[in-house]
Amino acid sequence: MSDQSSYTPPAVWTWDSKSGGQFANINRPIAGATHDKDLPVGRHPLQLYSLATPNGVKVTVMLEELLALGHEGAEYNAWLINIGEGDQFSSGFVEANPNSKIPALWDRSGDKPVRVFESASILFHLAEKFGAFLPASGPERTEVMNWVFWQMGSAPYLGGGFGHFYAYAPEKWEYPINRFAMETKRQLDVLDRELANKTYIAGDEYTIADMAIWPWYGQLVLGRLYSAAEFLDVESYKNVMRWAKAIDARPAVQRGRMVNRAFGEPHTQLHERHDASDFETRTQDKLEAAAE
């Protein structure tokens, strides 16, 4: 382990070396496109450009839930953005999201295409558009939005903080791991206390608040993030575990987890989604078998 106590920050920071660790090849201190490439466009009104990270899963779960309710206008094309290869820095993607982060959505259902970026903004846009998973007004709506924004403010501590130093950093450093493990467990305790007497995080109804939180905290306690379930003693958060398992059992959630997934078992990967039948015919195991 390197001696971190000897580091003295310079007066002005300069980018003179890669940060190290996983994803170091795509981290840079400047924005903008690195190459010219248009985004593909399919036949549906909604065009999603994403990867099945927790933030990406939020949106594909929402879209599959809308379709399960019978909202035909929620049909979508989902295009894979491989962030490890820098797809998010193409000129087309930067036009969709100048922040170069997945997911990004173009809504082409109206007279003029509308870009929507940031996962919570996409959830809110779709909920408003279809009148689903978000109360129309009143305290119930406010409570849902409370939890959506809680997630947006809290998850960076989980992913960029705990997840980075526990799973991705080039070396294991006690101080940042302890610091962010403490905060992650505090957040789990917040959820556990709230879910003690509620079916879902905002009350009795399943909403975009659950869709925002579950891909991060639900999948964490189910052992799918950072191989950290034992380290964080997730089984002790019994109310969170109950909630996480209930949402995990929803068919639309199971489909949403597969879309734009380019890792894991081949039968769980649907790199692109253009039709509901793709779940049966175009998962990676079937494509690989057909190519043999």
% the chain with pLDDT above 90: 92
Question: Both tokens of residue 8?
Answer: 């003295």
pLDDT tens digits for range 107-132: 999 999 999 999 999 999 999 999 99
Cα distances from 56 to residues 7, 81, 83, 141, in angstroms, run: 36, 10, 12, 23
Entry pTM: 0.95
Contacts 24+ apart (CB under 8 A), 135-141: 135/205, 135/207, 140/202, 140/203, 140/205
Task: State the pLDDT at residue 1.
Answer: 43
The answer to whether residue 225 scores a pLDDT higher than 50 is yes
- Report how far residue 34's alpha carbon sits from residue 89's, in angstroms, rounded to the nearest whole number: 6
pLDDT at 19: 67
CB 105 within 8 A of CB 46: yes
Q: Scan for tokens 């997630």, then name that residue.
A: 151
44, two tokens = 């549906």
Q: What pLDDT sits at residue 28? A: 87
Residue 153 tokens, joined = 């403010």
Q: What is the pLDDT of residues 160-177, one digit of tens each?
A: 999 999 999 999 999 999
Q: Take residue 21 and report the two structure tokens written for it.
A: 């660790």
If pLDDT is split at 50, 70 and 90, which confidence band does 2 have? Answer: very low
Query: To which H or E segment does residue 47 belong?
Result: strand 46-50
Closest by alpha carbon to 35, among 47, 26, 43? 26
Number of other residues whose CB lies within 10 A of the CB of residue 288: 11
pLDDT in tens, 177-221: 999 999 999 999 999 999 999 999 999 999 999 999 999 999 999
Share of the chain above pLDDT 70, in %: 96
User: Residue 13, Cβ neighbours under 10 Å: how many?
Assistant: 8
Place of tokens 């980075």: 164
- Asked if residue 177 lies in contact with residue 166, where contact means CB atoms within 8 angstroms, the answer is yes
- C-alpha separations of 254 from 133, 247, 279 in Å: 18, 9, 10
